[in-house]
A and B are shown apart, each in its own frame.
Chain A
Amino acid sequence: MSDFETVAATENQAARRGPSGEPGAPNQIGAAHKPRSLAGDAWRDLRRSPIFWISLALVVIFTLMAVIPGVFTTNDPSDCLLSRQHAGPSGGAIFGYDFQGCDTYSRAVYGTRASLLVGALSALGTGVIALVVGMLAGYFGRWIDAVLSRVIDVVLGIPLLLAAIVLLKRVGSASPTVRITAVIFVLAILGWTTAARVVRSSVITAKEQDYVAAARMLGAGHGRIMWRHILPNSLAPAIVVLTIALGSFIAAEATLSFLGIGLKAPTISWGQDIDTGRIHMRESATPLIVPSTFLALTVLAFIMLGDAIRDAFDPKLR
């Protein structure tokens, strides 16, 4: 689409007036009027939104932390000495040491990768399942909708933690990669239902719109109508649900790790650290507070970012 717009922009240089300008037509923006894209409009709105900048900064920081943790701390998170148990800040360890004598801050930094990976990939998986299911159910309706909606009801009826415990117990002692994949898989197949319902209802709304009838009138097929006309118009609510889901998946991963069935050592994760921090809270609270704060900030950042982007991209709010 972008090179289409570039061509359009070049054409504008040589633009001529139409054969007969409609006199007095309202909303005629003057000759200096430039074509604007939806992304351009959204960007103009976003640029002025402090929420957007704050959440974006946090997301960027945490993403960098996940990709290159070495930039944020020089201490090795697995360099633990019991002699430093609950010792105060020293050297690079700005928040001191935990029960095992590991650098609290360094562990929190290195824990970002697992949390973000689980959150992002679970949200992505959830999004794909939800879009496919919601689109098919909403667009085709009838028995397809009946079947898929019952499937949603059934999956929604499964308690997330209970099912995750049952499923993840079977993974047993596997390699860290298998374990992290298992956690993502479990969260995605249990967590897509709300998003699918949201997609389904917004697809049903979009399907009834005249522009869908207009596209059919011009001979567009089902695939094209779904992809070009319904999907872009029902994406906004799904994006919001998914960013919130991303935050809650990070929290869910922490919960599972906290309960000892999610990620396990040697993988470093906030959930595990919160668990150990909780046990020794009375001796030193920082090993609990630091990873908890990281977790809370990440979840908050994604939810705020999703909200800001939703507001900016929704043409109905202009």
Chain B
Amino acid sequence: MTQSAVRPTPASPTPPGGHLLEVRDLHVEFRTHEGVARVINGVSYHLDAGETLAVLGESGSGKSVTAQAIMGILDTPPAHVRSGQILYRGRDLLTQSEEQRRQVRGKEIAMIFQDALSALNPVFPVGWQIGETLRQRQGMSKADARRRAVELMDLVKIPAAAKRLGDYPHQFSGGMRQRVMIAMALALDPKVLIADEPTTALDVTVQAQIMDLLADLRRDLDMAMILITHDLGVVAGVADRIAVMYAGRIVEHADVRSLYRSPAHPYTKGLLESIPRLDVRGQALSTIKGLPPNLMRIPSGCPFHPRCPYVQQVCVDVVPHDLVLGDGRTSACHFAQEVRDDSAR
């Protein structure tokens, strides 16, 4: 737990004035009747203006919970932030009052959800919903809010935006609904956009359109983006850096290029090897054996050791530190160097 306090920040140097958003050694647990689930165990990452960080991991790895902690929309109980800091422009959000945090939400940091249908209120037209935030937070008149809603819907490329203002969420297709959700999130012109699996619920073709849209918007509006996903393919074209999460920890953190070329953590390596490839024929697809750990009983030492092909006794006994590799990357593996050299070969 304490080792991460002196964790070096990988991949990019701290800009003057600090990072735009920085999560430091965050610990979150869910207290339930069955016991305490350690969902986040010392996550640290940062985001600078204008960049895209991809947070990658399978279900239950804690990637969405970290995002909800940043937004301050964790359901408490059962979730409790045990320790850590979330710094936005140098101020710790976790020590702020609910009212101060409310000011940050939407205006500074906004989030889009996986399932846009359930993230839109079914009883109000989409124009009303996009405009609601503007009327409430910026005191816009109904007519101004409506005009701005049309602009936002144009911005996210909803055809015939002005016509569809009065439509209800159920009258939109999946891709269009996700666009509405994005328009809502952009209403207050946030500096950071957190996209929580924005394309998981969509068709493959629509997925690409939404990812392109997000990348364009990020660039045009000069936002920083945290892209949460379990889909390595989605990440490649969009992200600058990738943080790979496993069992509530960041196991590897690197820029996209080096991570894809030579993963330095056995888990990342396993993930990359389990992507079906068009250019390799006649081979069984490799998989990562076993299941993600039960968060109430996280394995001793390295949480990945029961599934790891590189496992040694040290992995069972000792929690691996973040190992800093030459090019500013980190990997929480005792054998990071070997794994990277293996994958580079």
List residues of A whose CB falls within 8 A of some B CB: 1, 3-5, 7-9, 11-12, 14-22, 25-29, 31, 33, 35-38, 142, 209-211, 213-221, 224, 228-229, 232-233, 315-316, 318
Contact = CB atoms under 8 A, between A and B. Distances in A.
B122 A219 contact: no
Closest CB pairs A-B (n = 9): A35-B166, A218-B106, A210-B119, A21-B159, A219-B105, A27-B173, A219-B106, A210-B118, A18-B159
A217 B73 contact: yes
B291 interface: no
B159 A25 contact: yes
Nearest to A12: B163
A183 B306 CA distance: 70
Residue from B102, B113, B159 whose CB has the most chain A CB atoms within 10 Å: B159
- The bracket for how many chain B residues form the interface is 35 or more
14 contacts: A8-B125, A18-B157, A22-B176, A25-B173, A27-B171, A27-B173, A28-B176, A35-B165, A38-B123, A213-B73, A216-B71, A217-B106, A217-B110, A229-B121
Interface in B85-141: 102-107, 110-111, 113, 115, 118-125, 127-128, 131-133, 136-137
B275 to A, nearest CB: 27
Contacts of A25: 159, 173, 175-176
B160 A228 contact: no
Given A12-B162, A27-B171, A217-B111, A7 B143 contact: yes
Interface string B146-170: 1000100110011111111111101
Given A217-B73, A218-B185, A219-B102, A22 B175 contact: yes
Given A11-B165, A18-B154, A36-B166, A218 B105 contact: yes
B217 to A, nearest CB: 13
B207 to A, nearest CB: 13
Contact of B187 (A12, A29, A218, A315): A218
Contacts of A22: 157-159, 175-176, 209
Residue from B106, B160, B176 whose CB has the most chain A CB atoms within 10 Å: B160
A285 to B, nearest CB: 49
Nearest to B175: A25
B165 A29 contact: no
Contact of B71 (A8, A31, A210, A217): A217
Contacts of B163: 12, 15, 31, 33, 35
B176 A7 contact: no
B172 interface: yes
B123 A315 contact: yes
Given A38-B123, A233-B122, A219 B107 contact: yes
Contact of A218 (B77, B133, B157, B170): B133
B161 to A, nearest CB: 5
Contacts of A11: 146, 150, 162, 165
Given A22-B209, A214-B181, A9 B173 contact: no
